[in-house]
Amino acid sequence: MSSDQDHLQETDTEARFEFKKEENAAVKSDKGLTEEIIRMISEDKDEPDWMLERRLRALEQYQNMPMPSGWPGMPDLSELDVEEIIPYIRPDVDKREGVDDWTELPDEIKDTFDKLGIPEAEKNALSGVGAQYESEVVYQNMQEQWEEKGVIFCNMDKAVQEHPELVKEHFMTTCVPPSDNKFAALHGAVWSGGSFVYVPEGVTVEMPVQAYFRMNSEGMGQFEHTLIIAEEGSEVHYIEGCSAPKYGTHNLHSGGVEVFVGEDAHVQYSTVQNWSKNTFNLNTKRAICEANGTMEWVSGSMGSKATMLYPCTILKGRGSTDTHITIAFAGEGQDIDTGAKVYHNAPDTSSTIESKSISKDGGRTNYRGLVHIADGAENSSTAVECDALMFDNESTSDTMPYMEIEESKVDVAHEATVGKIGDEDIFYLQSRGLDDDDAKKMIVAGFIEPITEELPIEYAVELNRLIELEMEGSLG
Amino acid sequence: MARLELSNLHAEVAEGDEQILEGVDLEVQSGEIHALMGPNGSGKSTTAKVIAGHPAYEVTEGEVLLHLEDDEFGEDIEIDEDQRTWNLLDLEPNERAALGIFLGFQYPAEIEGVTMTNFLRTALNAKIEEREELFEDEEDEAEEEDDGFESSPMEGPADEGEVGVAEFQGILQEKMEQLDMDEKFAQRYLNAGFSGGEKKQNEVLQAAILEPSVAVLDEIDSGLDIDRLQDVSSGINALRDEQGTGILQITHYQRILDYVEPDHVHVMLDGQIAKSGGPELAEKLEDKGYDWVREDVYGTA
Q: In Å, what is the CA distance from A438 to each residue of A8, A211, A309, A352? A: 20, 31, 30, 32
| Residue B149 C-alpha, separation from nearest chain A C-alpha, in angstroms | 7
Diameter of chain A by CA atoms? 68
From chain A, pick out residues whose CB is under 8 angstroms from the CB of B52: 427, 431
3 state SS of B141 = helix
Q: Which pLDDT belongs to residue A300? A: 86
Q: Which pLDDT belongs to residue B46? A: 95
A176: left (phi over 0), alpha (psi -120 to 50) or beta: beta
**Buried residues in B92-101 as b, exposed as e (16+ CB within 10 A):** ebbbbbbbbb
CB-nearest partner of B206 from A6, A432, A461:
A432
Given a contact cutoff of 8 angstroms between Cβ atoms, the answer to whether B88 and B101 are in contact is yes
| Residue B165 C-alpha, separation from nearest chain A C-alpha, in angstroms | 10
Given a contact cutoff of 8 angstroms between Cβ atoms, the answer to whether B105 and B203 are in contact is yes
Q: Evaluate if residue A164 carries a pLDDT over 60.
A: yes
From chain A, pick out residues whose CB is under 8 angstroms from the CB of B97: 430-433
Q: CA A136, A141, A145, A148 torsion: positive or negative?
A: positive
CB contact under 8 A, B113 and A448: yes
CB contact under 8 A, B154 and A431: no
Across the A:B interface, residue pairs with CB atoms under 8 Å apart total 124
Query: Which of A12, A431, A442, A474 best probes binding to B when mutated, by most B CB atoms within 10 angstroms?
Result: A431
Across B138-157, average pLDDT: 43
Q: Which pLDDT belongs to residue A141? A: 52
Ranking A163-167, A188-192, A245-249, B170-174 by mean pLDDT, the lowest is A245-249
Query: Which of B96, B117, B122, B189 best probes binding to A when mutated, by most A CB atoms within 10 angstroms?
Result: B122
DSSP state of B115: B
**Given pLDDT bands bounded at 50, 70 and 90, which one contains residue A10?**
very low
Ranking A104-108, A236-240, B38-42, B217-221 by mean pLDDT, the lowest is A104-108
**Could you tell me which residues are beta bridge partners of residue A196?**
A154, A227
**Buried residues in A91-127 as b, exposed as e (16+ CB within 10 A):** bebeebbbbeebeebbeebbebbebbbbbbbbeebbb
**Given pLDDT bands bounded at 50, 70 and 90, which one contains residue A27?**
low
Q: Evaluate if residue A14 carries a pLDDT over 60.
A: no
CB contact under 8 A, B112 and A425: no
Q: Which pLDDT belongs to residue B267? A: 95
A207 against B180, higher pLDDT: B180
| Residue B258 C-alpha, separation from nearest chain A C-alpha, in angstroms | 28
A385 touches B: beta carbon within 8 Å: no
Q: Which pLDDT belongs to residue A24? A: 54
A140 against B58, higher pLDDT: B58
Q: In Å, what is the CA distance from A114 to each residue of A24, A100, A103, A119, A121? A: 18, 17, 12, 6, 10
B151 membership: H or E segment, kind and range: none
Q: Which pLDDT belongs to residue B92? A: 96
Q: Evaluate if residue B144 carries a pLDDT over 50.
A: no
**Could you tell me which residues are beta bridge partners of residue B87?**
B65
3 state SS of B11 = strand
Exposure of A254 in the CB half-sphere (CA atoms within 13 A): 23
- Give the residue from B203, B120, B131 showing the smallest Cα distance to B163: B120
**Given pLDDT bands bounded at 50, 70 and 90, which one contains residue A114?**
low
CB contact under 8 A, B112 and A446: yes
Ranking A334-348, A361-375, B3-17, B152-166 by mean pLDDT, the lowest is B152-166
Q: In Å, what is the CA distance from A20 to each residue of A27, A87, A245? A: 19, 19, 6
Domain annotation for chain B: domains and CATH numbers: 2-107+212-298 (3.40.50.300)
B142 touches A: beta carbon within 8 Å: no
Q: Evaluate if residue A7 carries a pLDDT over 50.
A: no
Across A50-62, average pLDDT: 96
Name the pairing type of β-strands A321-330 and A350-359.
Answer: parallel
How far is B166 from B252, CA to CA, in rounded Å? 40
* Domain residue ranges in chain A: 14-309, 427-471
From chain B, pick out residues whose CB is under 8 angstroms from the CB of A460: 154-155
pLDDT tens digits for A430-474?
A: 999 999 989 988 999 899 888 888 877 767 777 777 777 777 754
pLDDT tens digits for B240-299?
A: 999 999 999 999 888 899 899 999 999 999 999 999 999 999 888 888 888 888 888 887
Q: Which residue of A has its CA nearest to B51?
A: A431
CB contact under 8 A, B122 and A442: yes
CB contact under 8 A, B111 and A429: yes
Given a contact cutoff of 8 angstroms between Cβ atoms, the answer to whether B69 and B1 are in contact is yes
Q: Which pLDDT belongs to residue A391? A: 86
Residues in chain A, overall count: 476
Q: Which pLDDT belongs to residue A214? A: 57
Q: Which pLDDT belongs to residue B27? A: 96
From chain B, pick out residues whose CB is under 8 angstroms from the CB of A446: 111-114, 189-190
Across A211-235, average pLDDT: 78
CB contact under 8 A, A469 and B103: no
Mutual angle of helices A35-44 and A182-190, in 10-degree steps: 50
Across A325-343, average pLDDT: 93
B144: left (phi over 0), alpha (psi -120 to 50) or beta: beta
